[in-house]
A and B are shown apart, each in its own frame.
Chain A
């Protein structure tokens, strides 16, 4: 069974610190990886996508992919209270773009 796993949290991080979110996946042939942010009562919003091994940076966000170890992570630098949300990891394990979703990690940034 294809799975994506995340620690449900909550992960509590002081304002200004680095928040580190992790995700592991089961299928080695997975092709693309996504991090979404979801505020309570809202639909997910794409934060980062990553397709190849290594780091990808976009502003305060850095996605890291390690296909050999089958994990993908998201780092948030200079964390702000507005970053408090649930972060969902999603993996495309096939060519039809059907995403497998993790359960999400709740992140709390404390002022």
Chain B
């Protein structure tokens, strides 16, 4: 299967700071990337969808100025949580799909804790 690398796996940051999460496809070109957030004991919530070279499409209720997504190349997408607050503490997961794939592949996830 395709390999997706997400980094960091865990991060603790102070309230008010920004955190960048990277998602890389290691052996295929990622034409579409999905960013999810998952709170404890809840299912995945899609935050945004991005295609290489174009602006991300955000789901209703997700602030695009707070969650900055950059899909600058066919192998890398980043999610930056700006001015983080404790309520942003969650498990953030990227999912990646290439043109030839019928399914998307998940990164390992990033556990963000804002203190």
Q: Residues on A close to B: CB < 8 A?
A: 32, 34, 41-46, 49, 88, 96-99, 101-104
Contact = CB atoms under 8 A, between A and B. Distances in A.
The range of chain B's interface size is: 20 to 34
B103 A34 contact: yes
Interface string B78-112: 00000000000001010001000011111111010
Contact of A88 (B44, B97, B109): B44
A101 B97 CA distance: 17
A97 B108 contact: no
B107 A43 contact: yes
Given A49-B103, A97-B97, A97-B104, A44 B44 contact: yes
Interface of B: 6, 32, 34, 42-46, 49, 91, 93, 97, 102-109, 111
- Interface SS of chain A: loop
B102 A42 contact: no
Contacts of A88: 43-44
The CB with the most chain B CB atoms within 10 A, among A42, A43, A49, A99, is that of: A43
Contacts of B109: 42-43
Contact of B106 (A43, A101, A104): A43
